[in-house]
Structure 1
Amino acid sequence: MSEEPIVDNIIEINGTVAPGFDTVREVFAAVVAEENGESGAQLAAFVHGRQVVDLWAGPQVTGDTLTGLLSATKGASSLVVALLVQEGWLDLDCAVADYWPEFGAAGKSGITLRQVLTNRAGVIGVEGGLTIAELADDRRIAERVAPQWPYIRPDSAQAYGGFVSFAIVGEVVRRAAGGSIQELFEERVRAPYGLDVYLGLPVSDDRYLPILPWLATLEMQAAFEANSPESHSIPGIAYNLNAADFTPADVLTLPNNPEVRALGQGSAGGVGSARGLAAMYAAAISGLDGRAQLLKSDTLAMVTAVHSAGPDLVRGERAPYALGFEAKGLYYPFLGANAFGHTGAVGCDGFADPRSGLAYGYTRRRAAFGFSAPENDRLAAAVHRAASR
């Protein structure tokens, strides 16, 4: 691995790249100089289970630094679901109410687990919104969701359930498998593979660096405010903006709340590093350090097939979904059709491409305001080009 530090505009790029991946270091240096020089970022990649990129930059940031993942957490939760489907614990086409009878209230009796995982359940939030204390805890979110009517007729449209989808899934998992998504992720995925991705960060772990608030030019801020969703609109409800005193800034910095980090709610409460994200996806498709891959080939084919291609009433045009995961082959056209993963609104991303064996992770401390930060297009393309050679 090449270890020569690069200093670009007084920004030091630390870490290593494998032979043939030097161009990735150069692209990362350019991205950091343009986007994240004052706050920091991490980039990691594996090819067929072997780490080929491990880079970081920024004040206080190391390769071991953890920060908030927001909706990239959904990738970790979806991996648990895929394992349970693989082992026969879950039936995707069973009604959620068959596992959790209380959910069947208010016109939700026919909603299936598959519909929830593909954002077609129509349950995107709750009347009056959720408090921060409720947002921290999947069980409390589930209690609020159970009596709630859908905002969209089930299976009539795709609509992203930003904070509630994996509270619903989590209640099904708890009742079907006898443990929470968080417990199963720790036991079956994180601990065995030594991953720096957590759905419930131990209080003793002091590596967390807070997400920094989004910074924008006056022009960008004005444009955002002009187009920001009304708090009681479909997007506003999905992002919990219908709650009292809950703002877009609160969405982006949610994992900075210690209770959110400690409980690791399955939709947006995870923390991790780029190295951890990439290693998690490498474990899913290739295995790590002599341990077998988590998902069998037939499971991969089933859960990574495109299930719903949008447009999404919350996220807009570019939001295709596999089973819980984003369908990454439709985000990054250089990837295979079954590529899968999930972004987070802070700008992080993680994915795997079973065809090429590539697993990718990127984190940034400065909130990007939006899903996959635009630099992911450049970084993912650079990693893929190097891997293809």
Structure 2
Amino acid sequence: MPSDPTTRGPRRVRGTVAYGYEAVREEFAAYAAGERDDYDAQLVAYLDGRQVVDLWTGPDFTGDSLVGVYSSTKGAAHLTVALLVQDGTLDLDERVSHYWPEFGAEGKQDVTLRDLLAHRAGVVGADAGFSLRELADDRAIAERLAAQCPYWRPGAAFGYHALVIGALTGEVVRRVTGQSLQAVYESRIRAPYGIDFYLGLPEEHESRVLDIQPMLPTPEQQGEMDASASGPHTLVGIAYNRNHPQPTDMLTLPNSRAVRAGGPASFGGVASARGLARLYAVAISGVGGEAPLLKPNTVAEFTQIHSAGYDLVSREYKAYGLGFSASADRYPLLSRSAFGHSGAGGSQAFADPHSGLAYGYSRRRYAFPGGAAPENDRFVRAVHRAAVGS
């Protein structure tokens, strides 16, 4: 891969791209040149299991830097669930209460694992909210939510289980395997494939972590945020833990060592863009001559849209497969089977089985308005164009 870095004034983009992907480097450099001086970001892509883009920029970032990736964590968590379904360890159409009897309280007895993964269970939070210590511990979240009355009749609608879905599915994993979801992910996915994406960051990697920086909205953007603010006891307030006496500040979550160490499976992952992209390359293509982690029928099952329409929490149109977002809903140039997950701070990661493309992007400063940073639109287009053209 050619290694000639692109410079735009004081901004340097470092890293490499394969032949045919030079336009991706140019697009990344052009965007970086127009950003703040402290713009730290990484962009990585694979095609058919071969790394074709590995770029980074910023005064503090390297290709090895790690940041909290918020809900991009859900991709790693639910790839683990998909693997257990593929093995026959879990059954998507079995009731959650079969695996976890306590979950059947308060009218949740018929919720299936499929319902849960599709954000249809209605248990988006707890009436009294969670402390930061509880949020860092998936088992504490699960214990509280087992007794929680759902906020809508399960199956009647769907809404994003932002901070709790990984704890709920993780408790199912623990009841069946005797191990935490994080331990299964480590032993079966992360460690064997050398993926730089951690659910529970070992202390020895802390020196590689950079704290997420706060969003810096313009006055107009701040006005939009103020106008859309919701009360603590609305569905969005409950889902984002604003109903606790000490409401959750999204910025503080990945900057907490307790969260990074616990690796809560909804939002506590720590990764580089290399790790984000490699995870999805391993899933659909394999790397280094290995077979893909997921079989085609497993990919088809988990990427089939299960919930689409008005999301009761986000209050906008959303489309979900099983645990994953339908990536083509955000990037229409991708195939209908593309799947992945973005993170509140701006990260994005997905796989497109049709083209063989796996994509990972991370940035340090929290992006407006939250979720996949807008610049991903440009980068995905450039990477896809290069991949299809090659």
TM (norm. structure 1) is: 0.97
Cα deviation code 1:17-49 (max 9, x no counterpart) = 011111101111122233464130000000000
Moved more, 299-308 or 63-72: 299-308
Residues 174 and 180 in structure 1, CA contact (< 8 A), matched pair in contact too: yes
Q: How does 1:58-69 map to 2 (within 5 A)?
A: 58-69=58-69
Once the two structures are TM-superposed, the CA of residue 308 in structure 1 deviates from its matched residue by 1.0
Distance 1:143 1:35, change over 3 A: farther
Once the two structures are TM-superposed, the CA of residue 2 in structure 1 deviates from its matched residue by 2.1
User: Which residue number corresponds to residue 266 of structure 2?
Assistant: 267
Q: How does 1:1-389 map to 2 (within 5 A)?
A: 1-35=1-35, 37-205=37-205, 206-247=207-248, 250-368=249-367, 369-389=369-389
Q: Structure 2: which amino acid aligns with 1:340?
A: F
Cα deviation code 1:309-334 (max 9, x no counterpart) = 12211123342101100011222111
The 2-side partners of 1:337 and 1:12 are apart by 36
CA RMSD of aligned residues (A): 1.1
Report % sequence identity.
56
The 1-side partners of 2:59 and 2:313 are apart by 35
Once the two structures are TM-superposed, the CA of residue 290 in structure 1 deviates from its matched residue by 2.0
The 1-side partners of 2:233 and 2:385 are apart by 44
The 1-side partners of 2:186 and 2:197 are apart by 9
The 2-side partners of 1:35 and 1:138 are apart by 37
3-state SS of the aligned residue for 1:310?
strand
The 2-side partners of 1:37 and 1:271 are apart by 24
Q: Structure 2: which amino acid aligns with 1:342?
A: H
3-state SS of the aligned residue for 1:320?
strand
Q: Structure 2: which amino acid aligns with 1:173?
A: V
Cα deviation code 1:47-85 (max 9, x no counterpart) = 000000000001220001000010000000010000000
Distance 1:227 1:202, change over 3 A: same
The 2-side partners of 1:37 and 1:333 are apart by 31
The alignment covers a number of residue pairs equal to: 387
Deviation beyond 6 Å, 4+ runs, structure 1? none
Q: Structure 2: which amino acid aligns with 1:55?
A: L
Residues 212 and 253 in structure 1, CA contact (< 8 A), matched pair in contact too: no
The 2-side partners of 1:36 and 1:288 are apart by 35
Q: Structure 2: which amino acid aligns with 1:24?
A: V
The 2-side partners of 1:145 and 1:22 are apart by 49
TM (norm. structure 2) is: 0.97
The 1-side partners of 2:37 and 2:229 are apart by 27
3-state SS of the aligned residue for 2:204?
coil
Distance 1:313 1:255, change over 3 A: same
3-state SS of the aligned residue for 1:12?
strand
Distance 1:170 1:221, change over 3 A: same
Residues 37 and 57 in structure 1, CA contact (< 8 A), matched pair in contact too: no
Residues 45 and 54 in structure 2, CA contact (< 8 A), matched pair in contact too: yes
3-state SS of the aligned residue for 1:319?
strand
Residues 131 and 246 in structure 2, CA contact (< 8 A), matched pair in contact too: no
3-state SS of the aligned residue for 1:153?
coil
3-state SS of the aligned residue for 1:14?
strand
Once the two structures are TM-superposed, the CA of residue 339 in structure 1 deviates from its matched residue by 0.5
Cα deviation code 1:221-255 (max 9, x no counterpart) = 122122112111111111111112325xx213311
Structure 2 unmatched runs, 5+? none
